[in-house]
Amino acid sequence: MSVPESRRQLSVPVATVEVVDDSLDAAFIHARGLTKRFGEFTAVDGIDVDVARGEAFGFLGPNGAGKSSTMRMIGCVSPPTEGTLRILGMDPGADGPAIRARLGVVPQQDTLDTELSVRENLLIYGRYFGMSRAAVRAKTDELLDFVQLTDRAKDKVEPLSGGMKRRLTIARSLINDPDILLLDEPTTGLDPQARHSLWDRLFRLKQRGVTLVLTTHYMDEAEQLCDRLVVMDKGRFAAEGSPRELIATYSTREVLELRFGPDEDNNVYADKVEGLVDRVEVLPDRLLLYTDDGDGTTAAVYQRGLLPVSTLVRRSTLEDVFLRLTGRTLVD
């Protein structure tokens, strides 16, 4: 099977393609019953995924939810234990190299070549894709500029800051003009400024029509970048939708956070606010009241004679969706 042919198939309108199952070709990524087991442990438990061209798709879940295992299967570096998987219309088992030629991968931990300089990292990586030296050089200059590392081009990788290394990894993943960009927790461990700078770069890519698939356990990241996401827990999908849909379905408009003293038993207060709202979550350090009118609920709490140390009314987030679906918090 040759690459140019499949590219052509994908670029023609779906209606004219002589393929029976059109969902298979319409989707850049298509998985049914995708399963990954390591011995007794099931990391990914029969998930169905379809990611369309140009979409920004996210896996949201805590550590150990099976996100990275899923990403490695999509990246064709981990054979599925069960289920079907088609990437760009091809089978990872048979066409691994051809698929990987069209993917860009940003792994969870930086795998930059520490023995090479910033620029050489991009040069040699492009060569792995079979690009000519001249083509790689031109692309390298363009990408260094894109991730604002031109003035560090000759430096070794080691002394770069965490944010710079991450940006370099992203530049590296773009060297082959990928059709799909896979980002495994792209901003974990970065300071807020570096995260925003990275999100800015990713947003530009999204606008250019690059298909983004990312995992994250940060709800703000998912909200910023994803058109559609799945909430993943224990190898399965707990819910699916756009960030707004998920919040509308599984949470309320606003959340009231109540903090009592450090030695107080929050369960006691949970009983005392009963009836004020439909849903109350008890966390070790605070109480969450799900409501459509935060200020009104706050007033009601005081009317009951309760005196919290602090109150906070905020918008519902994906964190709340996750708490609702799994009973656990995303970041522990």
For another protein, give the closer residue by CB, 5 or 265: 5
Query: In the bound complex, what is the minimum distance in angstroms from residue 80's beta carbon to another protein?
Result: 12
Query: In the bound complex, what is the minimum distance in angstroms from residue 225's beta carbon to another protein?
Result: 21
For another protein, give the closer residue by CB, 101 or 306: 101
Query: In the bound complex, what is the minimum distance in angstroms from residue 143's beta carbon to another protein?
Result: 15
Of 226, 165, 156, the closest CA to residue 190 belongs to 165
Count CB atoms within 10 A of the CB of residue 153.
16
Query: In the bound complex, what is the minimum distance in angstroms from residue 115's beta carbon to another protein?
Result: 4
For another protein, give the closer residue by CB, 25 or 95: 95
**265 token code pair:** 């038993």
Give the interface segment with another protein, choosing from 92-100, 144-152, 231-239, 263-271 (CB under 8 A).
92-100
Give the interface segment with another protein, choosing from 18-26, 53-61, 93-101, 202-210 (CB under 8 A).
93-101
DSSP 140-185: HHHHHHHTT-GGGTTSBSTTS-HHHHHHHHHHHHTTT--SEEEEES
Query: In the bound complex, what is the minimum distance in angstroms from residue 128's beta carbon to another protein?
Result: 4
DSSP 94-139: HHHHHHHTTEEEE-SS----TTSBHHHHHHHHHHHTT--HHHHHHH
**Alpha-carbon dihedral of residues 147, 153, 159, 164, nearest 10 degrees?**
0
- By CB under 8 A, residue 306 contacts another protein: no
Q: Which of residues 12-71 bind another protein (CB under 8 A)?
A: 38
For another protein, give the closer residue by CB, 105 or 301: 105
- Given a contact cutoff of 8 angstroms between Cβ atoms, the answer to whether 29 and 50 are in contact is yes
- Spell out, one character per residue from 116 to 145, where the chain touches another protein: x when CB under 8 A holds, - when not: x---x--xxx-xxxx---------------
Of 226, 246, 120, the closest CA to residue 181 belongs to 226
Query: In the bound complex, what is the minimum distance in angstroms from residue 245's beta carbon to another protein?
Result: 32
Calpha distance 163→169 (Å, rounded): 10
Binding footprint of another protein on the chain (CB under 8 A)? 2-3, 38, 75, 77-79, 95-98, 100-101, 103, 105, 107, 109, 111-116, 120, 123-125, 127-130, 172, 176
